[in-house]
Amino acid sequence: MLMTPAIVALHGIALSVTGTVLLASGFAGRILRYWDINSGSELQLRLERRTYLISTLLGFALGAELLSLLLFVQTTESLSSQFVGAMCATGVLNINAFGFPTLLLKMTVFFLAAIWLLLNRVDNQGRDYPLVRVKYGLLLVIAPLTVLELITQTGYFLGLEPEVITSCCGSLFSSERRSVAAELAGLPPKPTLIGFYSAAGLILAAGLGFLRRLGWGPLFTAGSLLVFGIAIIAIIGFLSLYVYENPNHHCPFCLLKAGYDFVGYALYLPLFAATAFGTSAGIIAPFRQIASLQAVISGEVHRLTVLALAGFGLFYGVATWLILRSHLILWG
């Protein structure tokens, strides 16, 4: 097993987040069962006092969880030089069976944590805490995922043995393999590019419509998730080729290397942020019918939607710049 400061930090974050979420989950059960804002009982007063503390602790814990995704990716990338056969984070994640599941779990918890934090922000602005049951119900969904994330991350780092020979990204994304990664790498570039920019038009139209009619919330949430998926496919399918100027190199992780000016961070950071903002805006919008949130929801949804559109715009701007500056020609 390797031990570095980053790995220790990731373990610390995972343990802290899981412990805090499990502690809060016990409280969430009581909230869902006994919360009654119109009651003046001693139990209700205790619940109201404790929700301040629990929400604050969860804010710090889930905020740290957001950062742990970035730290995890950066850590796996930095470890690539210590394993034979690994050119980037792909090889390090492929060392054992826990690598990619840990990454996928972290991505899932990232988006759910972002939604919880924004729901909590809106709820705290309502005089009667109208979303308290919603946010603690969501917490009960997040809790088992954080436990599973802790288990897979621990298994992954315990299984990192320097003498293990791993496969490089060229092998994983090879058309000769039968895998999801190979299928994405084998997508025809031109139709993928057309779909990529069509998704940009879709999310722009959905966002502008959402700013006028909050009833478009579910459409904007679905559109944000769809654009995220299409963007990841496009990065593997053709965008990475323009960065590497190599028609056979489809790795989405080599983009994070210094040799390619860390352009991956300029792509992934706005993409993840925009998806989180867009998804949350669409989820929050339906609660505008609640009397104590009518004034709050409108402003909050507008702010999140603008941030989401700005993030997607930045992502597409960087992607277009990478294509235009490249010397690679995929088709005449």
Q: Which two tokens stand for residue 147?
A: 């436990």
**Is residue 261 pLDDT above 60, yes or no?**
yes
**Is residue 175 pLDDT above 70, yes or no?**
no
- pLDDT band at residue 179 using 50, 70 and 90 as cut-offs: low
Mean pLDDT of 70-87: 85
Mean pLDDT of 26-36: 86
C-beta atoms surrounding 89 within 10 Å = 27
Cα–Cα distance measured from residue 213 to residue 202, given in angstroms and rounded to the nearest whole number: 16
Mean pLDDT of 278-296: 89
Q: Which residues contact 60 (CB under 8 A, 6 or more apart)?
A: 20
Q: What is the pLDDT of residue 170?
A: 63
**Is residue 259 pLDDT above 80, yes or no?**
yes
Cα–Cα distance measured from residue 109 to residue 115, given in angstroms and rounded to the nearest whole number: 10
Percentage of the chain with pLDDT > 70? 92
Residue 173 is classified by DSSP as T
Single-letter residue type at 75: T
Cα–Cα distance measured from residue 82 to residue 74, given in angstroms and rounded to the nearest whole number: 14
Write down the pTM of the prediction: 0.93
First vs last C-alpha separation in the chain: 50
Q: Which two tokens stand for residue 112?
A: 């759910």
Q: What is the pLDDT of residue 11?
A: 93
Q: Are 77 and 252 within 8 A, CB to CB?
A: no
